[in-house]
Amino acid sequence: MRSPVIEKNMKSTESTIEIPEQLKTVNEKMRTGLDDIESSGEDGLAKIRRSIQITTNAVREIRKYIKEVSFENPEAEIYFFKHVKPYFYSKYIFFVKIYQIEVLRPTGGNEEEMIYLQKEMKRLTDYFEVNKSFYEYIRKGSVFMDQQYFLRNGMTINNEEGHYYLDSDPNYCTSHDFKVARMLAHKRMAEFLKECMDDLQRNQGFTTTELPSIGKLNWTASKAALIELIYAFQSSGVFNHGEADIRQIADFFQRAFNISLGNLYRAFQEIRIRKKGRSFFLDQLKEELIRRMDHSDENPKL
């Protein structure tokens, strides 16, 4: 199932936004806290509850910042409410929503769980379909409605988002900043749900020995190394003009190299918090290639 929620061109990701100096400590504290939780070994719901607390604290700091800051000009205010605030709020929304999903997740068997997860995925797809025009506005980086969407100009606040909308005071939000945050959260939720469904399918007997091999090559390095490589390929957009999602690429490599990679989402989080470098395998590949080139330069006939 292909859904707009996994579109790679959504804006306001951590690597593309410019976080104000006064909020960099808040961001670092939030990131460090979430990374520590991910590697803590706690049970799933306990992790999510602590993550909600950490992101709630960050959102409260954003509210304090808005109360105290005086934006230099309308452009600065638009940038903050279009990019910075949604970046923080999206993390809070994500953890609140997956907590709700996990608490209500049925335990009657794989088939019942799969139906439940598919319904949750459909809700995400339906939301994007209903809000298609605004989604396209954000996805394409449009700006012609920014003054209406992202300035605190007394317009009626959109309360569709439900009980976890922490502030509907027009002094602290605009008519559409929370909608951007929700779209960013839904992008992560779709990845989370896809991983859950893939886990269920694997639990139904999909083992490494049953993966159809399309060649004679078997992957003999670590699974983490291949996952690092797969994420690098997807991030670089080298397949299908950048349209291939992470699961499509991973499925191809699993079959090509006769290996089952398990939970990609969880493995990627572990790669992110490595102490000895996030791109260990890619760095090693680069070193080996350069060493081989150097050797060829010194021994041109070999």
Q: Does pLDDT of 3 surpass 80?
A: no
84 and 217, same domain (yes or no): no
Q: For the chain, what percent of residues have pLDDT higher than 70? A: 82
DSSP output for 229-292:
HHHHHHHHT-SGGGT--HHHHHHHHHHHTT-----HHHHHHHHHT-SS-TTHHHHHHHHHHHHH
187 and 221, same domain (yes or no): no
57 and 180, same domain (yes or no): yes
What is the C-alpha separation between 199 and 201, in angstroms, rounded?
5
228 contact partners, CB below 8 Å, separation of at least 6: 271, 279, 280, 281, 282
Q: Does pLDDT of 299 surpass 90?
A: no
Q: Three-state DSSP class for 41?
A: coil
State the total domains in the chain. 2
Torsion of CA 179, 183, 188, 193, to 10 degrees: 100
What is the C-alpha separation between 106 and 112, in angstroms, rounded?
7
Give the tens place of pLDDT for each residue, 77-108: 999 999 999 999 999 999 999 999 988 888 76
Range of the domain at 285: 208-298
Domain stop point among 133, 168, 203: 203
Tokens 């996805």 appear where?
A: 139
171 and 269, same domain (yes or no): no
43 and 186, same domain (yes or no): yes
186 and 60, same domain (yes or no): yes
Domain stop point among 203, 224, 259: 203
262 and 198, same domain (yes or no): no
88 and 169, same domain (yes or no): yes
183 and 85, same domain (yes or no): yes
Q: Does pLDDT of 259 surpass 50?
A: yes
Query: Are 173 and 154 a contacting pair, CB within 8 Å?
Result: no
88 and 228, same domain (yes or no): no
- Single-letter code of the amino acid located at 262: G
Residue 38 phi, psi dihedral angles, 5° rounding: -60, -35
Determine the pLDDT at residue 155.
57
219 and 147, same domain (yes or no): no
150 and 64, same domain (yes or no): yes
Q: Which of 249, 272, 246, 235 is nearest to 194 (CA)?
A: 246
Tokens 């923080």 appear where?
A: 88
Domain stop point among 161, 186, 203: 203
